[in-house]
Chains A and B, each alone.
Chain A
């Protein structure tokens, strides 16, 4: 049986995005079944506009250059790669309602669900991570 990896993305900075999508794509490349639950600021990571320019932590703006030099893929590239490899994205319905967001604000191919949708996937997970 496939390994299952359940990830909660609850923060919306550039560093958070790399942590989430690097682990998710690496897991998917290792034949794992992966789902990410995006909640609160984590929704930025799949928001059509926001995810193209996620903020760096205050005082760390110079690291932007380091990303370019290390030839690290952009977040939209990683998101596309993750989806192509079958990583499931679940956006938190409650947070979307609170923030006045609809499915159209996000990248294509996401699911919208509540906590139980994620918990149902996570209950049989081999690895559960929160970022």
Chain B
């Protein structure tokens, strides 16, 4: 999937993946897609909750080994 920006938050613990995601999202325009890579297992639920709470659309999530990849479209 094509993303407008990639945030690499691998190896970072809570709350950094969310903080990095927010900062990345702040640089995008409405409708653009942010791709996020994390290894923090808590981020699976956290990023979904974050997207929901901010009104963004969680397009997809895949697990590749230890890495979780998310694609979120900005509201």
Q: Does A39 contact B (CB under 8 A)?
A: no
The distance from the CB of B24 to the nearest CB of chain A, in whole angstroms, is 11
Residues on B lying within 8 angstroms of A by beta carbon are 11-16, 18-19, 21-22, 46, 50, 53-54
Number of residues in A with C-beta < 8 Å to the partner?
A: 12
When A29-B50, A30-B53 are in contact, do A71 and B18 touch as well, CB less than 8 Å? Answer: no
- CA A85 to CA B19, docked complex, whole Å: 9
B12–A29 CB distance below 8 A = no
- CA A72 to CA B54, docked complex, whole Å: 25
Q: Using Cβ atoms and an 8 Å threshold, which residues of chain B touch A31?
A: 53-54
Q: Using Cβ atoms and an 8 Å threshold, which residues of chain B touch A85?
A: 19, 22
Please list the 3 inter-chain residue pairs (A to B) with the smallest Cβ-Cβ separation, ordered nearest first: A29-B22, A26-B15, A72-B13
A70–B19 CB distance below 8 A = no
Q: Does A25 contact B (CB under 8 A)?
A: yes
Q: Using Cβ atoms and an 8 Å threshold, which residues of chain B touch A26?
A: 14-15, 18-19, 46
Q: Using Cβ atoms and an 8 Å threshold, which residues of chain B touch A25?
A: 15, 18-19
- CA A99 to CA B13, docked complex, whole Å: 35
- CA A81 to CA B12, docked complex, whole Å: 14
Tell which of B11, B13, B14, B50 touches A30, judged by Cβ atoms closer than 8 Å. B50
Q: Does A57 contact B (CB under 8 A)?
A: no
A22–B14 CB distance below 8 A = yes
